[in-house]
């Protein structure tokens, strides 16, 4: 199969809109986590919130208007020239959409429920379709005029990482010439309180791999790319997927499924573990995930490979996390100074975890290959390898 390349991403995150704002905040170790009192019942929540203005959708898409789709629209508009070029070159029927999400328009569902509790009836304009998970890809296709295959993936935290694998398969199978891949997720009370019920939400800003860590800080955002055979600066070198099904919420302690996904991604890329210059860790800040992942990284990469987790800066964007972190990887691969996303610490490292080579603020190390890993409930794992072949 011919090599596939990714366009520069359209990006909406707690750092802001677009590549410049995100690169500046990412590489200088800024935090996008803020305290909110309107999401958790009876408790403050530290979340990675998008604070940029999110205008309503145009009138023709009013029935699809929600926070998720507003963020997705802004991300897609950032790569509109590439999308328009692909539409002209291939035709609408030869372009596909694969997007990961776990919330869709849940904010509209929550507002409708509150209205029902007050008034005894749902709002007259309420449309359940807004909160259906498939609505994410349908909106993207409708908004862009894309006529090829369009579907959403919802495998919790691996959703948008798996979108790269699905997009790759669509092109390999001859079903599309280009695919809009990525993900979007938005903050909502359902998600926050669900994770609170699992005792997985940190009482303050999350501190992945830190001593005394107590859980995640949930975030939101959108990141989309155009995947195609058109040569670009960043190549999708390999993707690996696995489903170990160890437990509904806990990772397999030795990381067997995670290792299988990495092995597959490296095999597809035709490289070895030692060729990876940087790994964007899943790094949630929960005790069990960080313990599993630190051990796995130490066994596979040792102390040589630089690693960090972006979730300490922007929170865990759940269904959008894989795409956001791939976008941060894109920024690292194309940064003219060779900067790496630093590990943001809020206290001492956990001395009980194996020692890793965490990227520090100001680290500069141009890398040719990097890996981004995502692990989800139910043992759904994905590993994405990106490459910049102009670097040696």
pLDDT (tens place) for every residue of the chain, 392 residues total: 689 999 999 999 999 999 999 999 999 999 999 999 999 988 999 999 999 999 999 999 999 999 999 999 999 999 999 999 999 999 999 999 999 999 988 888 888 888 889 999 988 888 888 888 889 999 999 999 999 999 999 999 999 999 999 999 999 999 999 999 999 999 999 999 999 998 899 999 999 999 999 999 999 999 999 999 999 999 999 999 999 887 777 888 889 999 999 999 999 999 999 999 999 999 999 999 999 999 999 999 998 999 999 999 999 999 999 999 999 999 999 999 999 999 999 999 999 999 999 999 999 999 999 999 999 988 899 999 999 999 97
Three-state SS annotation for 59-97 = HHHHHHCCHHHHHHHHHHHHCHHHHHHHHHHHCHHHEEE
By C-alpha distance, which of 101, 97, 215 is closest to 157?
Answer: 101
Asked if residue 277 lies in contact with residue 306, where contact means CB atoms within 8 angstroms, the answer is yes
Per-residue pLDDT reduced to its tens digit, 100-139: 999 988 888 888 888 889 999 988 888 888 888 889 999 9
Query: Measured between alpha carbons, how far is 302 from 318 in angstroms, rounded to an integer?
Result: 28
Residues that are catalytic:
157, 282, 316
Strands (E), the chain: 5-6, 10-13, 16-17, 33-40, 43-48, 95-100, 150-153, 178-185, 221-228, 234-243, 276-280, 306-308, 357-358, 369-376, 380-387
> How far is Cα 365 from Cα 243, in angstroms, rounded to an integer?
33
The secondary structure of residue 210, as a DSSP letter, is B
Asked whether the beta carbons of 256 and 347 are under 8 A apart, the reply is no
Locate 52 and state its tokens.
């940029």
- pLDDT, residue 109, reads 85
Nearest Cα residue to 31 out of 44, 17, 15, 16: 15
Element at 109 (helix H, strand E): helix 106-119
CB 158 within 8 A of CB 374: yes
- What's the pTM? 0.96
pLDDT at 115: 86
Backbone Cα Rg of the chain: 20
Burial 226-236 (b: 16+ CB within 10 A, else e): bbbeeebebbb
Contact at 8 Å (CB) between 157 and 316? yes
Q: ∠ at Cα 194 (293, 309), nearest 5°?
A: 30
Do residues 151 and 173 lie in contact, with contact meaning Cβ atoms separated by under 8 Å? no
> Which architecture characterizes domain 5-387 according to CATH?
3-Layer(aba) Sandwich (3.40)
d(CA 239, CA 164): 7
Three-state DSSP class for residue 19: helix
């Amino acid at each position: 199969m011919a090599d596939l390349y990714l366009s520069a991403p359209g990006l909406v995150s707690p750092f802001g809109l677009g590549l410049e704002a995100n690169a500046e905040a990412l590489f200088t170790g800024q935090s996008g986590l803020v305290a909110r009192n309107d999401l958790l019942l009876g408790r403050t929540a530290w979340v990675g919130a998008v604070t940029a203005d999110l205008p309503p959708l145009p009138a023709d898409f009013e029935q699809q208007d929600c926070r998720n789709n507003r963020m997705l629209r802004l991300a897609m508009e950032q790569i509109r020239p590439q999308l328009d070029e692909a539409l002209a070159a291939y035709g609408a029927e030869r372009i596909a959409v694969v997007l990961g999400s776990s919330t869709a328009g849940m904010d509209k569902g929550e507002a409708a429920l509150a209205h029902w509790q007050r008034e005894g009836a749902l709002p007259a304009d309420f449309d359940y379709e807004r909160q259906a998970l498939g609505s994410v890809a349908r909106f993207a296709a409708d908004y862009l005029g894309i006529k090829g295959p369009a579907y959403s993936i919802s495998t919790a935290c691996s959703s948008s990482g798996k979108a790269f694998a699905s997009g790759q398969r669509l092109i390999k199978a001859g079903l599309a010439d280009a695919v809009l891949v990525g993900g979007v997720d938005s903050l909502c009370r359902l998600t926050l309180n669900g994770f609170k019920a699992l005792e997985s939400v940190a009482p303050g800003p999350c501190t992945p791999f830190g001593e005394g860590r107590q859980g995640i800080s949930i975030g939101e955002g959108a990141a989309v790319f155009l995947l195609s055979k058109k040569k670009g600066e960043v190549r999708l070198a390999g993707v690996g997927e696995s489903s170990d099904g160890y437990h509904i919420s806990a990772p397999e302690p030795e990381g067997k499924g995670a290792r299988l996904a990495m092995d597959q991604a490296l095999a597809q890329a035709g490289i070895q573990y030692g060729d990876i210059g940087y790994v964007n860790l899943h790094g949630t800040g929960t005790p069990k995930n960080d313990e599993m992942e630190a051990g796995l990284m130490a066994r596979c990469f040792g102390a040589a490979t630089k690693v960090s987790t972006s979730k300490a800066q922007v929170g865990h964007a759940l269904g959008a996390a894989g795409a956001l972190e791939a976008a941060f990887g894109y920024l690292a691969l194309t940064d003219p100074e060779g900067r790496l996303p630093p590990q943001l610490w809020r206290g001492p490292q956990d001395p009980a975890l194996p020692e890793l080579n965490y990227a520090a603020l100001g680290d500069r190390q141009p890398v040719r290959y990097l890996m981004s890993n995502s692990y989800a409930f139910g043992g759904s794992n994905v590993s994405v390898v990106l490459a910049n072949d102009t670097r040696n």
